[in-house]
Amino acid sequence: GPAPAIAVVTAGLGLDFTLPLFTEPLVPTVVLTGAGAPADRVAAARAAGAEVLFAGEGLGVDPARVAGVLAERGHTRLLTEGGPMLLGQFAAAGALDEMCLTLAPVVAVGEAPRIMNGPAVPVPERFALASVLEDAGFLFTRYRRS
């Protein structure tokens, strides 16, 4: 296709469907939500041109189901970007097989959470370094599940 599809994970569909992501995409934007999402918001997403897919019961999305739901639509390569909560949920569900981590030569102090914040896993999962690129002191790393 002309561009990869963008899939947005959302529980309550509290999204602004007037944004270009929905009104002017090169390919329809996919919205992943739970089967219990508010019907009026599902209708609003579809009216804006989004393809709404259900990957969970209730309001939430089950990260373990996301890859299968998207694969049914022909999307077999996934790049997941999100905050620490979303990434933590994918990792805890065993749905993370590769991780890209960028290290910047900047020291910042604050109370930000870890890169992953979610349910605890009983045994830490091991990832192996697959590649490292450096540019201007930035390290771009890629790890794969061992």
Which residue, among 119, 116, 118, 122, has the nearest Cα to 143 in the 3D structure? Answer: 116
Answer yes or no: is pLDDT of 113 > 80. Answer: no
Identify whether 102 is part of a domain.
yes
Work out how many domains the chain is built from and give that number: 2
Q: Are residues 5 and 69 in the same domain?
A: yes
| Span 9-20, pLDDT tens digits | 998 899 999 999
Domain of residue 144, residue span: 90-146
Evaluate if residue 140 carries a pLDDT over 80: yes
Q: Do 139 and 95 fall within a single domain?
A: yes
Residue 129 binned pLDDT confidence (cut-offs 50, 70, 90): very high
- The reply to whether 58 and 94 lie within a common domain is no
Q: Give the end of a domain, one of 22, 55, 78.
A: 78
85 belongs to a structural domain: no
d(CA 99, CA 131): 11
| Residues 46, 118 within the same domain | no
